Amino acid sequence: MRTLITGAAGFLGSHLCDAMLSEGHSVVGIGNFSTGSLDNLRHLRSEPCFELIEGDVSRVFDCGHVDYVFHFASPASPEAYTRLGLETLQVGSSGSFNSLKIAKKYGAKYLLASTSECYGDQLEHPQKETYWGNVNPIGPRSVYDETKRFAEALTMAYRRYKHVDTRIVRIFNTYGPRLHMNDGRLISNFVRQALQEEDLTIYGTGEQSRSFCYVTDEIDGIVRLSRPNVNGPMNIGNPSEVTVLECAKLVLRLTDSPSKFRFLPGMEDDPRRRCPDISEATTLLGWRPLVSLEAGLRLSLKYFKDAMVREAAAV
Ligand SMILES: NC(=O)c1ccc[n+]([C@@H]2O[C@H](COP(=O)([O-])OP(=O)(O)OC[C@H]3O[C@@H](n4cnc5c(N)ncnc54)[C@H](O)[C@@H]3O)[C@@H](O)[C@H]2O)c1
């Protein structure tokens, strides 16, 4: 099996490369390094079954014959997709077209990395796959939310009209080693601020909820989804819901940090609650997350500390 992973140098893409290699696939990764880092793939430098192409998947490309395509390329953090708004729209639209064309050309299976943000500021809780969402199509988050919704529509259209064997994973907030330290995601923000003994920034009241999935659980769910013939979108995330404030307090406790909280105005269209209904994944894939938030944060702390030391040394 030769597998293409777009966004291979990113947080999830790099873990997926590891997972596919350990399943015995040969992997070709492609990425433009706009938000990813070569550091995430450094351990694969002398891996004979791994090949890395530097390229922008929003432009037409051809990586040769593949049996599987995982389309993971996209800025993913609010900081990144706000800074790269047009590029985000492009990779969700043209990038999805180009990667689906590869799947069609080589008769490969296809898996799209979609997001819980397709549900927007949800009116249904927890979110089931059947919920159509409540997304502001013109707000600041729309460059990300709407391009992912378009990518889902396109993936389903390739399934219906072009008979490509497709899957869609709706990923809920995932964290762990290789998460970028400075891209404004909640966990990396809190951990960095706590370790630097700065106040933790909380947007709004902190009462908004999130569900955080540890990266090994997320990748396990995605790998399982890649196997059977499940065509609809599937939620893969941890249904254990915490408020932003609870998460911040946990980070302070685990890092033994003297930091306090700094409350800032809430962000526009920030979802008030986020929690996946994972009954489909549990029933159809036999999957459920195993790592609690506390255990996952403990597992991530060494990586975050080392990343900060590397960062300081680079300055
Ligand atoms: N991490 C999460 O919590 C989460 C949640 C929901 C969805 N997702 C989805 O999972 C995927 C991976 O997210 P991540 O957290 O690893 O993000 P990331 O920013 O770490 O990785 C994304 C990768 O895609 C690459 N990329 C972006 N545009 C590209 C382009 N035009 N051509 C080639 N490469 C390009 C980046 O350089 C980076 O390596 C994304 O599609 C994201 O929307 C992630």
For 212-262, write each residue's pLDDT tens digit.
999 999 999 999 999 977 878 999 999 999 999 999 999 999 999 999 999
124 and 194 in a single domain? The answer is no
Cβ(250)–Cβ(186) below 8 Å = no
Cβ(68)–Cβ(109) below 8 Å = yes
51 and 70 in a single domain? The answer is yes
130 and 194 in a single domain? The answer is no
Number of other residues whose CB lies within 10 A of the CB of residue 192: 18
Whether the per-residue pLDDT at 101 is higher than 90: the answer is: yes
Q: Find the 270 Cα to ligand 1 centroid distance in Å.
A: 20
The answer to whether residue 120 sits within a structural domain is yes
The pLDDT value recorded for residue 183 is 84
Whether the per-residue pLDDT at 115 is higher than 80: the answer is: yes
Mean pLDDT of 126-155: 97
141 and 203 in a single domain? The answer is no
The answer to whether residue 38 sits within a structural domain is yes
The answer to whether residue 111 sits within a structural domain is yes
The pLDDT value recorded for residue 105 is 98
CATH number of the domain to which 258 belongs: 3.90.25.10
Instruction: Using the atom order of ligand 1, give the atom closest to the CA of residue 171.
Output: 6
Q: Find the 259 Cα to ligand 1 centroid distance in Å.
A: 30
36 and 110 in a single domain? The answer is yes
Choice from 72, 214, 216, 303 to test ligand 1 binding pocket (greatest atom count within 8 A of CB): 72
Terminus-to-terminus CA distance in the chain, angstroms?
Answer: 42
The pLDDT value recorded for residue 228 is 79
31 and 150 in a single domain? The answer is yes
Mean pLDDT of 12-29: 98
Q: Find the 44 Cα to ligand 1 centroid distance in Å.
A: 19
122 and 136 in a single domain? The answer is yes
Q: Find the 13 Cα to ligand 1 centroid distance in Å.
A: 7
Residue bearing the CA closest to ligand 1, atom 7: 115
Instruction: Using the atom order of ligand 1, give the atom closest to the CA of residue 174.
Output: 3
Task: Count CA atoms within 13 Å of residue 289 on its CB side.
Answer: 29
The span from the CA of 262 to the CA of 176, in Å, is: 24
Considering just the CA atoms, what is the radius of gyration of the chain in Å?
A: 19
Whether the per-residue pLDDT at 295 is higher than 90: the answer is: yes
The answer to whether residue 42 sits within a structural domain is yes
Bigger pLDDT: 312 vs 121: 121
Question: 264 phi and psi, to 5 degrees?
Answer: -120, 165
The span from the CA of 179 to the CA of 306, in Å, is: 12
Q: Find the 77 Cα to ligand 1 centroid distance in Å.
A: 8
For 187-218, write each residue's pLDDT tens digit.
999 999 999 999 999 999 999 999 999 999 99
Cβ(164)–Cβ(103) below 8 Å = yes
Choice from 171, 213, 214, 225 to test ligand 1 binding pocket (greatest atom count within 8 A of CB): 171
CATH number of the domain to which 152 belongs: 3.40.50.720
Q: Find the 117 Cα to ligand 1 centroid distance in Å.
A: 14
Mean pLDDT of 67-84: 97
Instruction: Supply the angle between the helices 142-162 and 85-106 in degrees, to the nearest 10.
Output: 20
96 and 137 in a single domain? The answer is yes
Active site residue 68: no
The length of the chain in residues reads: 315
Whether the per-residue pLDDT at 182 is higher than 90: the answer is: no
Q: Which of 144, 158, 175, 214 is catalytic?
A: 144
The answer to whether residue 279 sits within a structural domain is no
Instruction: Using the atom order of ligand 1, give the atom closest to the CA of residue 58.
Output: 31
The span from the CA of 103 to the CA of 123, in Å, is: 35
Joined tokens for residue 230: 């499940």
Residue bearing the CA closest to ligand 1, atom 29: 73
Residue bearing the CA closest to ligand 1, atom 35: 73
Instruction: Using the atom order of ligand 1, give the atom closest to the CA of residue 14.
Output: 16
Mean pLDDT of 158-178: 97
Mean pLDDT of 251-276: 93
Residue bearing the CA closest to ligand 1, atom 42: 76
Mean pLDDT computed over every residue of the chain: 96
156 and 250 in a single domain? The answer is no
Domain that holds residue 42: 2-175+212-236
Least confident of 81-85, 101-105, 228-232, 285-289: 228-232
Q: Find the 75 Cα to ligand 1 centroid distance in Å.
A: 5
Question: 54 phi and psi, to 5 degrees?
Answer: -90, 120
166 and 221 in a single domain? The answer is yes
Instruction: Supply the angle between the helices 215-226 and 11-22 in degrees, to the nearest 10.
Output: 60
Q: List residues near ligand 1 (CB under 6 A).
A: 6-7, 9-13, 30-36, 56-58, 72-76, 80, 91, 95, 113, 115, 171, 173-174, 180
155 and 8 in a single domain? The answer is yes
The answer to whether residue 310 sits within a structural domain is yes
The pLDDT value recorded for residue 144 is 98
Number of domains in the chain: 2
The answer to whether residue 180 sits within a structural domain is no
228 and 79 in a single domain? The answer is yes
The pLDDT value recorded for residue 283 is 96
The answer to whether residue 281 sits within a structural domain is no
